[in-house]
Structure 1
Amino acid sequence: MNKKLREELDGLRFGGQEDVLRRTHPRSWRDRLRGLWNKELEIPVVPLGLSFAVILAVVAASQLRSPEDDGDAASGDPRQLIEVGGNTYWKDDYERAVASIESDGQG
């Protein structure tokens, strides 16, 4: 069997020994930098896909929030948005501005 294998492989010759040695055992800084540049990156698909899905869910949840949810729940200050004249204002800020304009007009 060994003899038959040698006969079949007799015509094949490997001529890239120097190139293989240069790649596997770099001697110069240039060869080392080339090896670093040609390094393959393996990116795991499952964690990458999972992180993408989490980011997508967070963005979607923030887009679906209603304006009533914008209040400060920790302090119990549920601010409301109102629309006046085609513009949107916080209700308390609008009432304060209107009251200050009315008080300036009377004085």
Structure 2
Amino acid sequence: MQHKEKQAVKERLDHELKDFHFTGCEKVLQKTHQNSFAEKLSSFWNKEIELPILPLVVAAVLMISTISLKDDLNNEVTSSETQREIIKIAGYSYWKDDYERAVKQHENKDEN
């Protein structure tokens, strides 16, 4: 029973579609089954990529600002360290300003 119904539907469909002919078979096969490396490469480069602008710009600005702040902090540390003076007392090395500060604190404790 089912086979006869399927056969009847197929015959009706074939009868309705007999005036339609697909002529672009070669073009479709050529686009879907590329053979040469150049065609494959062309297909790869022709892909459309959508990139959201706002997140990319925000990420770029954050990266640039972080790098510039890091460089500024490194420059400040090196410039302040180059102005400091090292002194040697009893075989130990101290920063002069740290040593003077420690001596003043010790003297203030003795006065109290």
- TM class by shorter chain equals 0.3 to 0.5
Length-normalised TM-score, structure 1: 0.37
TM normalised by structure 2 equals 0.36
Greater C-alpha radius of gyration: 2
Structure (1 or 2) with the greater helix fraction: 2
